[in-house]
Chain A
Amino acid sequence: MIDEIIEVAGAELPVDERLVIRKRRLASERAGAGAKRICVVTGIHGDELEGQYVCHEVARRIRENPSALKGIVDIYPAMNPIGIDSITRGIPAFDLDMNRIFPGNREGDMNEYMASEIIRDCKGAELCVDIHASNIFLTEVPQIRINQLHQDVLVPYARRANVDFIWVHGSSTVLESTFAYSLNDIGVKTLVVEMGVGMRVTREYGEQLTDGIFSLMKAAGIWSGSVPEVREPVISYDQRGEDVHYLNAPVSGIYVKEKAHGSLVREGDYIGSILDPLRGKDAVKITAPADGWLFTTREYPVVDAGSLMGRILKQEVYDRCKENGENGTENTI
């Protein structure tokens, strides 16, 4: 088996340092020119670390059973290496969201150049999984988000990925500059995973998604080993933005959550409260506006008026998926 570290892109920094993006390539010795390839990508946002465990675990399991590897697995654990090193979500020194500069530009500035080299490197892959971890404020159940423009191609794959939820959302021009959009645009089927919370590693989610990645690899003919049964996700086709209730803080304060993410809630259930430790007023109670599935909860306590505290998938959407319905069909790719 080939197991090597390759520099994907590099640039000179002003003082005695290079900016380098590296990947680890695991490939079957017999993987020839036509071999299928999957890219496992994370760390575009430097404060999202859930994907770190997945990168480690995917490689570990392959090394455990190298003969089952039929294609190429490229693992990119740090798309924004100085962001990860400095607990910075964006690209440090530029105050720039790296997920808004794709597909990049070879003739552009350093960051646009790096972005274009990344796209060049991933081009031609069969599949790509771009792992995000929400942000430091919100915890998410493992989910895949899909732009409606790519739903026909991606949903069948997403269902193999062992996530709890697939959220198909409406398109917007702003999202055209994301890594996933750019890759899907050139025919690399790219799934955006959001799971867990920023600045933390949730091992259980890492294991869950790793199982999903092996299931995808098997379906794509990259892996011939046995793979665990994957779970049936809830799917929301939410192009019009009507499937989800957003809970925004009515006042500023300290948010204390009552219900964990992944809970089923009933209208009126107590989900959390906002405290005012200075004025000592009664806590503002946050209740569920309707029955549903609380798939996002707020983790970071300080809220401004407007801050997101949670998202609830409407009960009827949840039920439709759970009672076979449109999900009961054969899992074919």
Chain B
Amino acid sequence: MERKILYKVDALYRDDFRVTGFQFGQGEKSICIIGSMRGNEYQQIYACSQLVRKLKVLEEKGRITKGKSILVIPCANPYSVNTKKRFWTIDNTDINRMFPGYDLGETTQRIAGGIFEQIKDYRFGVQFASFYMPGNFVPQVRMMKTGLENVELARQFGLPYVVLHHPRPFDTTTLNYNWQIWETDAFSIYTTSTGEIERGSAAQAVDAVLHFLSKQEIIRYRGHEGYQSRVVETRDFVNIRTERAGFFESRVKAGERVLAGTVLAAVTDPYTGEIRQIITAPIDGTVAFVHNETLAYQNTAVFKLIAEEDVL
């Protein structure tokens, strides 16, 4: 394992800004795994740390294929993590909206550019990502439908779902999109949580990456065989929205299977406790996403369901 500084900005008063990577193995740039780019993505850093720990052991045991190298970047934005801010500390810009970056541009463009320069030549790219809405996910691999996506590869992670989504205008400035444009096969892995560590789902994400690495013969590793991934498109998700604002009390967790009519949550009046809305499942399916904040605004998509047959 080699710990190295991939990008650095000299600061005025804070300690210098550093993006740190951990390299395993030597040779061809096989795969890069990146964790948080935003300050609230603790789970994503944690998942990387567990991957670093396991890869270190595998390397010591000589289980990394000769001529292959793996790079893990737990965090591309320690400044924001340490200040508990989601975005860049001074100007609130999002590093993951700055790719491919620009070395003579503004600060976050330079950071994105500096990182991208180091990681754009990898054959595979994996980002432990978080969603723009606060909530918990069923573990999944996400890919953008750029025309360059390779679904069969995504299945090799062995996660329950491979989710495809069509890029929206702002997606063109994300790492995942630019990786694909630069001919890296790019995947986003969503674990259950973001702002809190969930060891079980982090372990599942780590296993998924190791599973993929072994399928690609980058490492020799025997984990469990994983799932036969089901491929779904985001437009097939059934969004369930709040009709009223209030306190949100969920009765189900991400990954649960529910029958049509099952009570999923209640929205209550914060002053009187009266029920403003009972949210029920409109179909038989799997809960792919659950809102996880106490406050619910009006029209918020608080659940996303994937239709399933044979829910028992």
Contacts and interface: CB of A to CB of B under 8 A. Distances in A.
A246 B103 CA distance: 13
B169 interface: yes
A109 B241 contact: yes
Contacts, number: 93
B10 interface: yes
Given A253-B12, A307-B106, A14 B90 contact: no
B274 interface: no
Given A305-B110, A307-B106, A278 B299 contact: no
B9 to A, nearest CB: 5
A173 B107 contact: no
Given A11-B245, A14-B246, A109-B297, A252 B87 contact: no
Nearest to B171: A173
Interface string A238-268: 0000000010100111100000000000000
Contact of A306 (B87, B110, B246, B295): B110
Interface string B1-31: 0000000011111000000000000000000
A110 interface: yes
A174 B170 contact: yes
B196 to A, nearest CB: 18
A90 interface: yes
Contacts of A246: 104-105
A105 B259 CA distance: 29
B296 interface: yes
A278 B270 contact: no
A305 to B, nearest CB: 5
A113 B298 CA distance: 10
A248 B104 contact: yes
A15 B248 CA distance: 12
Given A13-B245, A14-B270, A306-B110, A252 B12 contact: yes
Interface string A147-185: 000000000000000000000000001111100000000
A109 B301 contact: yes
B91 interface: yes
Given A252-B9, A306-B106, A11 B86 contact: no
A286 to B, nearest CB: 15
B42 to A, nearest CB: 17
Contacts of A15: 270-271, 295
A174 B12 contact: no
A90 B86 CA distance: 13
Interface of A: 11-16, 89-90, 93, 95-96, 100, 108-110, 112-113, 135, 137, 173-177, 246, 248, 251-254, 276, 278, 302, 304-308
30 contacts: A11-B245, A12-B298, A13-B245, A13-B297, A14-B246, A15-B271, A15-B295, A95-B86, A95-B87, A109-B299, A109-B300, A110-B298, A110-B299, A112-B299, A113-B299, A135-B91, A175-B169, A177-B170, A246-B104, A246-B105, A248-B105, A251-B10, A252-B10, A252-B12, A254-B12, A278-B13, A304-B107, A306-B105, A306-B106, A308-B106
Interface of B: 9-13, 86-87, 90-92, 97, 104-110, 132, 169-170, 172-173, 241, 244-247, 270-271, 295-301
Given A14-B270, A248-B104, 10 more contacts: A11-B245, A12-B244, A14-B246, A14-B247, A14-B296, A15-B295, A100-B170, A109-B300, A109-B301, A174-B173
Instruction: In the A-B complex, list the 8 residue pairs whose CB atoms are closest, starting with the nearest.
Output: A306-B107, A304-B107, A252-B12, A12-B245, A14-B245, A306-B110, A173-B169, A14-B295
